[in-house]
Amino acid sequence: MEPQHLRDLYDRQLRREARPDGPGCRIEHVGGVVRQTGPAHAWNGVLWSGLTAADADRAVAAQIDHYRAAGLSFEWKLYAHDTPGDLGARLAAAGFTADPPETLMAAEAAALPDAVPLPAGVELRAVTDASGVRQVAEVHQRAFGTDSSRLERQLLDRLAADPDTVTAVVALADGEPVSAARLELCPGTDFAGLWGGGTVEGWRGRGLYRALVAHRARIAAERGHHYVQVDAADTSRPILERLGFGALSTTTPYLYG
């Protein structure tokens, strides 16, 4: 499928027709905006917008009012192809803070490598309980240097309430968690999302990231998803390109509150 057609399919299935991604969350369609609202530990924010120069500022103010009334911080997930073209500048003027942009990439799940050799002494283990979730959170915190308590809560909620929509894996080196990632499955769509792939310092550059991509892509294909997508940081993009991923757009998280 051509990149623009694949991007259009992504926009329709995962943004305009988005489904709640956790218990207690709801998807709301409000005047050219698709947003998710849920508990404070969940992801809250705007998934898609179809705005014009005439109505963008009004829509931005309405989302701020909505989440402020709910007592929630939120994210506006802006893509380079969203309209109007100056929406990022409008969000910044309204008080949002932009995180670094990432590249939206996708690949055919079944076309990716079935497996990547692991370093000696490393094994992959499926995450099925609270102990495994803690290991994922530990890797995330060590790899990215950020608090992982919200991720831990979200993953526990998903595994308990809707385990068919998420799977996670941790790489253990002689029992120590050194890399981890999760796969978010969207039943009824062509896509599964690769999220949170991180490796602790000292184990980078040894194929663990590629191994976790291959592992999750195989699961996605087995579950009937044609494509896997990822929001790739600059450090990940070259690895993903070598595996066969192509760029569809860029996305920038704009944070408020």
Q: Is the pLDDT of residue 114 over 90?
A: no
Q: Over 109-151, what HEC string results?
A: HHHCCCCCCCCCCEEEEEECCHHHHHHHHHHHHHHHCCCCHHH
In which band, very low, low, confident or very high, does the pLDDT at 1 lie, cut at 50, 70 and 90?
Answer: confident
| 116 conformational bin, left if phi > 0, alpha if psi -120 to 50, beta if neither | beta
Locate 154 and state its tokens: 């979200």
CA 80 to chain centroid, in Å, comes to 17
How are beta strands 227-232 and 191-199 bridged, if at all? parallel
pLDDT at 106 over 90: yes
Mean pLDDT of the chain: 96
Given a contact cutoff of 8 angstroms between Cβ atoms, the answer to whether 179 and 154 are in contact is no
Chain centroid to CA 235: 16
Q: What is the pLDDT of residues 27-68, one digit of tens each?
A: 999 989 999 999 999 999 999 999 999 999 999 999 999 999
- Global pTM value: 0.94
Region 97-111 average pLDDT: 98
pLDDT, residue 115, reads 85
Of the chain, the percentage scoring pLDDT greater than 70 comes to 100
